[in-house]
Structures are given as C-alpha cells and as structure tokens.
A and B are shown apart, each in its own frame.
Chain A
Amino acid sequence: MHLLLFNIYDQVRSLGWNGAFTLLRDGVVLGSLYSLVALGYTMVYGILKLLNFAHGDVFMVGAFIGFGVLAQLGGPLAPALGLVPLLLVMFAVAMLGSGILGVVIERFAYRPLRNAPRIAPLISALGVVFFLESSVQLITNSTHSEYSTFPVFGPLFTPMFSVAGNPVTVVQVLIVLTAIGLMAALMFLVYRTKLGKAMRATSFDREAASMMGIDTDRVISATFFIGSVLAGAAGVMYGLYLSDTYFFVGFLYGLKAFTAAVVGGIGSIPGAMLGGVLVGVVESFAGGYAGGQWKDIVVFGILILFLLVRPTGLLGSHAIQKV
C-alpha cells in the first residue's frame, strides 16, 4: 500500500500540471462516450425497471455498422465521399441501424416477458448479449475492423486549440460536443414533446398511462429506439477515436456505461451524462497516476461503493414503493 501511494505521489510530481490536464482531457472524452451509452441504460431502466445489459452490444453493433458504411463507400484508404459527408452518412446509418436493432431486441426478447418475474427479462438480456456477440463474431470471422483513423480522418486528429501547450484535437472536441448536443436533444424530447410526456407517464405508472390512452408498447419501443440511436452514435465515435472495433468491445464498455448510469443515478438523464464524465475522468486519473492495472479496479470499486452507500446515485431520486 505504501509503495502504491509512493508511486502515485511520484507520478503526480513527474507528470505535473500538464500531465493532469492531458488526463482530464482524455477522461472527459472517454466519459462522453460512456455518457451516451449510459443514457440508453438509464432510459430503459426509467421506463421498464429493466437492466438492459444488451445495450453495450448495441453500441458495438453501431461501431460495426459505421465501419460497414465506411467499407461500402470505398474503404478506409479510398473513401468515395469527402470527410464531412462521409461522417454524416456513417453516423446516420449507424444510428438508424442501432435504433432498429434496439426496437427488434425489445420486441422479441423483452416484450413477451413484460409480465414475467423481473429476473426473466434480465436473463433474456444476457441471452441477447451472447447472441449479438457471437453473431458479430461469426459475421466478422473474429477479426478486428480497422477504421484506419489516420489516412482517412487525419484532419480530425489535428489540434483545434491548445491549453498551456497541450493540444486538444478536433475529434476530441467533436465527441464532447456531440455528446452534449445529443443529450440536450434528448432532454428536449423528454421534457418538451408529446412523446416525451408519454414516456414520462409510462415511466411513472405504466398501467395508469395505458388507461389514459397512451400506447405504452409504442412508447417503450420508441424509448429503445432512442437509446439505441445514441449507442450507435457512440459506437461510431468510438471507432473514429480509438481506430478499431471488435465483437468483444461492447462487454466492458457496456459495464462501464452501466456504472456511469448508477453513479449518476439510474433513471436520470443528466445523471447519466454526469456519471459518464465522472467515470471517464476517474478512470483516466487512476490509469495515469496509479497505473493501467488500477483503472478497472477503481471504476468498479466506485460502482460497489455507490450501490452500498448511495444506490440512488448523484442525481437520482428515491422511488416510492407502493405496498
């Protein structure tokens, strides 16, 4: 323990303020990705009280759809479109594809179990995880799909501005702004539209909402669609930023996004965003100061801590249980 503390102290001193900034920058970018995925967890939980563990794999499928579009449009080394239209098409198709996948998952894996004991859809979710991972593994023959970030997306990696000599690249700004923009759009949808009102009503009391004439099945499908659309966007951003995707990536990212949702307060949309950024920053600092081997220990340690001490998370509220 003493040695670990000494190493952390030594690393903090040797990296200095510049190091702290780069860790903060990278943590915020990583956290923005977690946030987008966490929003899906939190929305589905808010409406169905279901932990949709397959959501991490929807994110993975989104990354693969983005890559598929890139490959169809001439491949990473000779794209048929310019950078901006290419990115727009990749995002649009991946978001739409992931959204449809989310709806299909809900329709076939969860809806038939709507009135079953709560453990049943949870087990079904785990089944969907393995189904999606194994399907993608078979389709891709276990290979990694490389976005080949540099040749195609070189301009995204040029510095946009610097903070005390530390560059912040275009892609990093793009990820953070996209995450904020999508969350703002989601907030607008939930709090300022008819569908959002129906979603909130369904979340509050599904049976009562149904009796008031709300088509709750449709609302739930819409919730899955929107959450999965966000995961698809996160998948493409993940591929662009980290250069590659693989059938296994949804597992760990999904768990960390779930942690983000719990930390922020599962069911709370701003909480998912806040939790994502916090988890990303904590992970980055843990990796930078304590060493890469501590990243996951710290992140999942926080998950356990929150579940024990503050299960409602930072921005979540206590649910009143009717008896």
Chain B
Amino acid sequence: MLKRIGALAVTGAVTAAIVAATLGGTASARNNAVAAASINCKKTVTIGVAYPQTGPVATLGANQWNWAKTAMKAWNKNKKNKPKIALLQGDTQLAGTTPQALQVAHQFASNSKIVAVTGPAGSQEMQDTASVWKSASLAPVSGSETRVALTRGTTGTPRETTKGYFFRTVPNDGQQGDNVAAYIHNTLKKNKVEIIDDEEAYSTGLSAQVQADLLKVNAHVTTNHVSQQDTDFSSVIDSIPSGTQVIYIPWQNATQAQQFYTQLHAHGGKEILFGSDGTDVPGTFTGNGSYVSGFPVDFSSTAVKSFAASHGGDPETFGIPSYTSVIVNATAIKTACKAGKGKTTRNAIRKDVPKVQLTTAQSLLGFPVKFLAKNAGKWQGPGDMGGTAAFGIYQIQANGSYKRVG
C-alpha cells in the first residue's frame, strides 16, 4: 500500500514538474517570439502604462494616467512625430503586494501590440517583475520608482534590475534622502525629529536613510510606524515625544499625510510636517507650513499651466514624470523605426531608450533628460537620469499651493 502511495506521489510530482516546466517554457518562448516580432511603424504603436488604477493610491495613479494621456496627445499632435502612439492601461493596484503587477507584466509581455512600457509605479513592483520584462525585451521607464537598488547596488545589496532593462524619469531615494536631511538640519536648523514610516519598502528605505543622515549630524531622532490603511493617527500622535520639532512622513499616500496634519492640529500639535514625493500632491496634501520633497517640476512650462487649468487648477505633479516617461518611450520608438526603415522590434526600441535625450522644454521636469550609462556620485547608476536631476523641496502655502524653497 505504502509503495503504491509512494509511486503515486512520485508520479504526481513528476507530472507537476513537467507541466510547470512546459507552461513556464511556453510562456518564455512566447515572450521571446513576441520580443523578436517585427513591428510595423506605419501603424499606430502601443505603449503599455502600468499604474495603480484602483486600490488605496488610485488617486496617484490617476495623476500618472492623466499625464500619460497628455503626453500621447502632445506627441500625436505634432505631425513630425511618427509613428503615432496609443496607450494601454494595466492596473497594478500598488497595494503593498505585487501579484497584480506580475499579472500586468505577463499581459504586456505577451501582447505583441505593446512595444514599450511606462511604469510600473512602485519600486517593489519593478523588482518583482524585472525578469518578466527582460524575457520580453521590454525596458520599463518608470515615472515614480525611486528605490536606489533598482539602478545601483549598494554594499551587501545587488542591483535589483538588469542593466539596460530599467529606466526612470525621477531622481532616486538616495538623492531625496540626502536633500531632506540636509534641509532639515542646515536650512530649518531643527535637531529633534520624529520619523514615521508607512511600513512598505519605499517608506522604510527612505526613513532609514534620512535617519542615518540625521544621526551623522547628531540630531535626536525617534521613530514610529503607521500602515497604509490607517485613517486614525491619534495614538501615534499621542506618543510623539515632547520637544519634537519636525515630523518626517515619507508616505505613499498624500491623503494620509493631510489627515495626519489635520489630526495633529486637532490634538494641538505644532510640529513641522515634512513629506516625500509620495505626499507631493498639491490639492490633496495642503497642510499650511508643511514641506515636501517632490518630483522636479517646471511650473513655468506652458504644458503644466495648461494641464492645471483644465484640471481644476491642480497640476497633479505626481504624474508629470509619467508624461516624461511616455515621451522617452515615444522618442525611442521613433528612433528605432527610423533606423529600421519603417520596421523595428521591441529589442531595438529597448536599446534606443538609453540614447534618448530630452530638452528642458520637452521633459517638463525643469532640466534636460539624459540617462547615465555608468555609476555616478554616491547614489546614481545606469538607468538614472544624470546632469542636474534632483528632488525639489517645496513649502506648502496657506492657499495650499507649493512654493519651491530648496
């Protein structure tokens, strides 16, 4: 009897292994075939946009999608730009887990219409989907992933994406963390800081770096945590040590930051709130006197002004790097199509992404875009933007507008 059970178990395991290998091999082979397939540049080509269409940070996702559409319209409007582009949405949800992002990656990878990718939105999503993109010869260009390790390994931590298969149109957390710590210590001249992370990788990484930077200059730092589902911060506010001058909240959800600000004031708190790029959402995080380190934005640009005018005065700044990402992808497609004389492949487009250079006027970021080919400075690596790319520090004014102060 035992023998029979053993034989059955072995047969089952072998069958499962064969099925898994076959399915995996089939998916991989299909991706390879799609990657090598010829793309007709005379037709409209499609860029996949992976972003949180639903879920707790869908508001940020809406900013990204709105700006991606703006980029598509701007590109298609210019008669010199060929081929014309279309966008296809993929909902990654960005809810702390990544199965949805993986599903989107597989859908995009196997869809021969998709020739380039804007997004995904979260660093963890990119890390967990990197192998899928690579197998499909797609190099996502993200407008919001800021984790350093995506482009540059640090001691004891390997680079999380393969060189040449990931680019971003935002500066990274290394640059952001240094900026924030320096601003708190040198400009605000504050030394008692409470750092509260929201328990996901982006926030804990940024918190750790700012904490380390502040400890180096002998600041007094205390820490606490909230979750992305929290709406009542009473107990966390109650436990903030007396004498705290600045509360740093590098969270992904700007509404949570605004709720925290409101509840802090309702509890009589007078500390300065300091948010990160995740809370850099004018119109949502409007706490008077608070600060955010935000994505660089050229507020003087006509495109930004016109976008804000048509969106109730809200420039939805979180989405601007996604605009830049679509333009980077479209430019790479145009270059590859030209080189291939009307025909190209995903692989050719991918290889052209790092060669893309945008002017300040084209990028809307306030500086030109040019990708690094090797490590630079303390934090940047291949796939990051070089040159003057940096985070801005904004102070929130009484009317809710953001004024750049650093």
Contact = CB atoms under 8 A, between A and B. Distances in A.
Chain A CB within 10 A, most for which of B59, B230, B232: B232
Contact of A142 (B62, B224, B267): B62
A144 B235 contact: no
- Measured as residues with beta carbon below 8 angstroms from the partner, the interface class of chain A is 35 or more
A80 to B, nearest CB: 22
B234 A291 contact: no
Interface stretch (B70-78, B137-145, B255-263, B328-336): B255-263
Contacts of B255: 144, 244, 246
Interface in B48-87: 54-56, 58-59, 61-62
Interface stretch (A15-23, A192-200, A201-209, A223-231): A15-23
A291 B224 contact: yes
B226 interface: yes
Nearest to B241: A14
Contacts of A11: 239
Residues of B in contact with A, size category: 20 to 34
A292 B235 contact: yes
A146 B285 CA distance: 11
Contacts of A246: 56, 231, 255
A149 B262 contact: yes
B69 to A, nearest CB: 14
Contacts of B62: 141-143
A293 interface: yes
B202 to A, nearest CB: 16
A287 interface: yes
Contacts of B231: 238, 242, 244, 246, 249, 252-253
Given A137-B58, A142-B62, A292-B230, A242 B235 contact: no
A66 B283 CA distance: 21
Contacts of B61: 142
Interface string A129-154: 00000100100011110100110000
Given A142-B61, A143-B59, A242-B259, A292 B238 contact: no
A283 B266 contact: no
Contact of A248 (B56, B258, B262, B263): B56
B227 A293 contact: yes
B239 A19 contact: yes
Contact of B235 (A134, A253, A288): A288
A144 B196 contact: no
Nearest to A159: B268
A252 B230 CA distance: 8
B268 A167 contact: yes
A275 interface: no
Contacts of A23: 234-235, 238-239
Given A149-B266, A242-B231, A293 B239 contact: no
Contacts of B258: 144, 146, 243-244
Interface string B232-266: 11111011010000000000000100110011011
A242 B263 contact: yes
Contacts of B213: none
Contacts of B241: 14
B225 A27 contact: no
A286 B227 contact: no
B238 A288 contact: yes
Contacts of B238: 15, 19, 22-23, 26, 284, 288
A39 interface: no
A286 B224 CA distance: 12
Contact of B259 (A137, A243, A252, A284): A243
A295 B229 CA distance: 11
In the A-B complex, the 9 residue pairs with the smallest Cβ-Cβ separation, listed nearest first, are A287-B235, A142-B58, A26-B234, A293-B225, A243-B262, A288-B235, A144-B255, A292-B226, A288-B239
Interface of A: 11, 14-15, 19, 22-23, 26-27, 29-30, 134, 137, 141-144, 146, 149-150, 157, 167, 169, 238, 242-244, 246, 248-249, 251-253, 283-289, 291-293, 295-296
Given A246-B255, A248-B229, A292-B233, 9 more contacts: A19-B238, A142-B59, A144-B59, A146-B258, A149-B262, A242-B259, A244-B259, A288-B236, A295-B235
22 contacts: A23-B239, A26-B234, A30-B234, A142-B54, A142-B58, A142-B61, A144-B255, A150-B262, A167-B268, A242-B231, A243-B259, A243-B263, A244-B255, A246-B56, A253-B231, A283-B235, A284-B234, A287-B239, A289-B239, A291-B225, A292-B235, A296-B227
